């Protein structure tokens, strides 16, 4: 099937990373390892994994961990899935996800408290609410698409939903650098730890 590669997964890369060939001079004890030159840091040649793997040992402060504190639970993600499908009322979200009412109510409160969703009243007597994505929630959609694609490929033998772009082609996520428009992969990125000073620049 033809696919439309969306730009929703574009990634901003602050440091430019250049590949170092086998002809590049070895650096210290890292000769023969996968190395990159990080432009903007003196052009120092380092192994791609050196920067993070050799940090002082301890629990890392991490945006992934912070996001998982909010989202890293089955029923939260499934509730968000339903909202992207246009399902906004509590009973219908519960029915489509299979979550118990108590668990779903707890997860929706947590998502609302984190600013991922908001309640909108649709009935005064009795008071009833719909649940809608905020801007923060809408910005999770590329993450949900990527997770669905991974599940289609590795976890689900019979995918049940496909997304079609307005161009008429099946949509697929493909993270790309917004500066050079090249695909972003594990092999062409270098993680750079940010200090307090670099976070302010």
| 132: in domain | yes
Query: For 119-124, what is the mean pLDDT?
Result: 96
Separation between Cα atoms, residue 11 and residue 174, nearest integer Å? 10
Q: Is the preceding peptide bond at 158 cis, omega within 30 degrees of 0?
A: no
| 63: in domain | no
| 116: in domain | yes
| 157: in domain | yes
Separation between Cα atoms, residue 112 and residue 119, nearest integer Å? 8
Separation between Cα atoms, residue 70 and residue 59, nearest integer Å? 18
State the DSSP H helix or E strand holding residue 71, giving kind and residue range, or none if neither: helix 63-71
Query: For 8-34, what is the mean pLDDT?
Result: 38
Give me the chain's average pLDDT, please: 80
- Using DSSP's 3-state secondary structure scheme, residue 184 falls into coil
Token pair 């402060």 in the structure block, residue: 61
What CATH code is carried by the domain that includes residue 96? 1.10.10.10
Residue 55 binned pLDDT confidence (cut-offs 50, 70, 90) = confident
Token pair 């246009």 in the structure block, residue: 86
Crossing angle between the packed helical segments 74-84 and 141-154, to the nearest 10 degrees: 110
Cα–Cα nearest to 47, from 16, 17, 12: 17
Residue 101 binned pLDDT confidence (cut-offs 50, 70, 90) = very high
Instruction: Give the pLDDT score at 172.
Output: 82
**Domain membership of residue 161 as a residue range:** 73-170
Number of Cβ within 10 Å of residue 11's Cβ equals: 12
Instruction: Give the pLDDT score at 51.
Output: 75
Among residues of the chain, what percentage have pLDDT more than 90?
57
| 180: in domain | no
Number of domains in the chain: 1
Separation between Cα atoms, residue 119 and residue 8, nearest integer Å? 26
Token pair 């772009």 in the structure block, residue: 165
| 68: in domain | no
| 48: in domain | no
| 119: in domain | yes
Where does residue 13 fall: left (phi above 0), alpha (psi -120 to 50 degrees), or beta otherwise?
A: beta
**Candidate from 48-52, 140-144, 151-155 with smallest mean pLDDT:** 48-52
């Amino acid at each position: 099937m033809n696919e439309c590669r969306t730009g929703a997964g574009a990634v901003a890369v602050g440091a430019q990373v250049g590949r170092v060939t086998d002809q590049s001079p070895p650096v210290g004890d890292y000769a023969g390892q996968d190395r990159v030159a990080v432009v903007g840091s003196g052009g120092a040649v380092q192994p791609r994994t050196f920067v993070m793997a050799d940090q002082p040992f301890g629990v890392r402060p991490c945006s992934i961990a912070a996001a998982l504190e909010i989202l890293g639970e089955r029923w939260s993600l499934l509730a968000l899935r339903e909202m992207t499908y246009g399902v906004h009322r509590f009973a219908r979200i519960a029915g489509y996800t299979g979550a118990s009412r108590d668990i779903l109510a707890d997860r929706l409160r947590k998502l609302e408290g984190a600013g991922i969703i908001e309640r909108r009243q649709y009935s005064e007597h009795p008071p009833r609410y719909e649940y809608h994505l905020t801007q923060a929630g809408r910005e999770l959609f590329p993450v949900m698409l990527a997770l669905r694609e991974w599940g289609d490929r590795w976890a689900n033998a019979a995918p049940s939903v496909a997304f079609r772009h307005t161009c008429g082609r099946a949509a697929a996520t493909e993270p790309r650098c917004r500066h050079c428009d090249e695909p972003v992969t594990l092999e062409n990125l270098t993680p750079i730890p940010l200090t307090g000073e670099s976070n302010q620049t």
